[in-house]
Amino acid sequence: MISGDEDQRAADGHKAQAVGEQGLDRPGSIEVARYDRVRERAVLLGCGQFTEPGDDSDNRLFPEGVPQAFGHPRRYIPRRDAGALDYPLSRQLLARDLLRMAYVAKDGTPRNIPIGFTWNGSQIVVCTTKNAPKLPSLRHHPEVALTIDTEVHPPKVLLIRGRAELDVVDVIPEEYLQMNGSYEMTPEQRVEWEAEVRSLYDGMVRIVITPTWVKLIDFETTLPTAVEELIRQRAERQRA
């Protein structure tokens, strides 16, 4: 991860060596500006590090040709692990109102639903009624896949896989009140809504999801795996 003075100096050293080797260190160089933008973007994401082109310490390196598409002279390592949830961009997405949860119904067919959620720093919590049809399915197939994304171009996408645990409670969970606190309501509307919730529900079920796999895609420094593969294939054709 790029952070701190030591890592900053290391990144600057990589930059100086790279631009010097390619004769790109002249003032106003477009290539240097591109390098700076990508490096700064990586710092913002906090989700990878720059390596020498031959460094294969991570088997999920961008395929050859991808960094060049970004104007980047070196390879960039996207990491797909639970640590990705700590990246600044991931935290922004985890602060949104809704996610889409995919799961397998008891009859074996797929389901995908929008639902409000909260992130407690290590787990995603969604709340539902005690009679929700998805609960028997989740008891039978607790594995879920979550998507949190934006509606702008290029989209920012956080993909999470995990296992759901069901916690039946006889109160209105604080997470439910919290996740609904981000919607625009006047104080009066908020009071009316909360009174309606408490009169309707005698309790709820907390669906607690522990992430087991994470991928962050911003279409600037990280791409879908299939696109990475297409870029690799194109680079191979161009070399042939």
pLDDT tens profile 187-234: 898 889 999 999 999 999 999 999 999 999 988 888 888 998 999 999
| Residue ranges, the chain, pLDDT below 50 | 1-79
Q: For residue 82, what pLDDT is reported?
A: 52
* Nearest one of 38, 44, 23 to 76, comparing CA atoms: 38
The span from the CA of 133 to the CA of 137, in Å, is 7
- Going through the chain in order, the beta strands assigned E by DSSP cover 50-51, 75-76, 98-104, 110-116, 118-119, 124-128, 143-149, 157-169, 204-217
Neighbours of 104 (CB within 10 A): 17
State the pLDDT at residue 22. 40
Residue linked to tokens 């003032």: 27
Tell me the whole-structure pTM to 2 decimals. Answer: 0.65
The first and second tokens of residue 32, run together, are 């240097």
- b/e per residue 42-51 (b: at least 16 CB within 10 A): bbebbbbbbb
